[in-house]
Amino acid sequence: MTMTYYGTTATSTSRNPPVVLYSVVGGQLQYPGDLTTKAMGGKVWFYSSTNAQTDVDDAGAFSDGGVLGMKPGDVLIGVVNGGAATTDCYPYIGILNSTESNLSTAAYNITSNFMT
């Protein structure tokens, strides 16, 4: 199932892209060993919508992730708003990933390493 995502190209009243809560100074983290040449995530994102984590882990769920500045390894914290009552809401967390080769324009989704 592909989620309905209203990103940066949607009309101004429909837009609902994820927002950055935290960003490492310098914009990326460097890891030792075999990952030293890769720019890994250094941001924490927040996303609230009616989309469940099972929608957000669909490949390319955030179609404008690269434009937003997402990187592999960034963390996404989300809240599913299932209705008017606060009991219809629940959180999830996951690591952002892209299967596309051009990460600057790539679509992103959370990996299966999420929890509710």
Q: Where are the domains of the chain?
A: 19-110
Which of 96, 113, 110, 106 shows the shortest CA–CA distance to 41? 96
Report pLDDT for 37: 47
Q: Which residues of the chain have pLDDT under 50?
A: 1-2, 35-37
Report pLDDT for 114: 59
Report pLDDT for 39: 52
The DSSP string of 29-62 is: B--SGGGTTS-B--EEEEEEES--HHHHTSTTSB
Report pLDDT for 46: 94
Report pLDDT for 45: 94
What is the Cα–Cα distance from 47 to 92, expressed in whole angstroms?
10
Which H or E run includes 67? helix 65-68
DSSP one-letter code for 87: G
